[in-house]
C-alpha cells in the first residue's frame, strides 16, 4: 500500500536550508518577486537558477543522491512537517510507502531530504500572497 498526504504549512523550525554563495539562507517561496525585502534571507523558487548555474531543484536532487552525509541539516520530508500525522503514517506503513505532496517540491518520498520552504496550497492573508502556489504555477517534480 502507498500512502500520499498533502504537505502542512507548519514546519519544523530546525529545518536546514541551502545558502547562497554569500552565505544567506535560501527561503523557497511561490513568488519571490512579491516577497518583502529581507537583507538576511534570499527568496527563490525551487526552479530558479542558483548562483552556481544549476536550479535549486537540481541541487536538491543531487544532494539527495550524494553519500556524504547531510551537512546542511535538511530534514526527511516526514520530519519537516510538524503535525504528528506524518510520523504516525511512517510508523504504520514504513518510509518506503509514504509520500508527501509538497507545494514546493511535488510528490516526494517521506525520506527525501527537504529544505525549509514557505510555499503553500492554502489560502494566505493578502499581504503574504508570495507564499501561495497558484493552480497555474508550474513546478517540476523531483
User: Over the stretch 63-122, which tens digit does the pLDDT of each residue have?
Assistant: 999 988 999 999 999 999 999 999 999 999 999 999 999 988 999 999 999 999 987 666
Q: Give the residue among 30, 117, 122, 109 at the shortest CA–CA distance from 77.
A: 109
The 3-state DSSP class for residue 27 equals strand
Q: Give the residue among 108, 95, 115 at the shortest CA–CA distance from 15.
A: 115
* Domain range summary for the chain, segments of one domain joined by +: 3-131
Q: What's the sign of the alpha-carbon dihedral 106, 88, 75, 122?
A: positive
Q: How many helices (H) and strands (E) does the chain have?
A: 3, 8
Task: Give the pLDDT band (50/70/90) at residue 52.
Answer: very high
* pTM, 2 dp: 0.85
Amino acid at each position: 500500500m502507498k500512502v500520499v498526504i498533502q504537505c502542512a504549512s507548519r514546519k519544523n523550525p530546525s529545518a536546514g536550508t541551502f545558502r547562497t554563495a554569500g552565505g544567506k539562507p535560501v527561503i523557497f517561496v511561490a513568488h519571490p518577486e512579491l516577497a518583502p525585502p529581507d537583507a538576511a534571507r534570499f527568496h527563490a523558487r525551487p526552479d530558479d537558477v542558483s548562483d552556481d548555474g544549476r536550479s535549486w531543484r537540481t541541487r536538491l536532487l543531487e544532494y539527495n543522491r550524494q553519500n556524504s552525509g547531510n551537512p546542511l541539516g535538511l530534514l526527511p520530508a516526514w520530519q519537516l512537517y510538524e503535525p504528528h500525522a506524518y510520523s504516525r503514517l511512517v510508523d504504520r506503513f514504513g518510509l518506503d510507502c509514504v509520500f508527501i505532496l509538497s507545494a514546493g517540491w511535488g510528490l516526494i518520498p517521506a525520506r527525501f531530504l527537504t529544505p525549509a520552504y514557505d510555499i503553500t496550497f492554502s489560502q494566505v492573508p493578502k499581504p503574504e500572497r508570495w507564499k501561495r502556489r497558484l493552480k497555474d504555477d508550474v513546478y517540476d517534480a523531483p
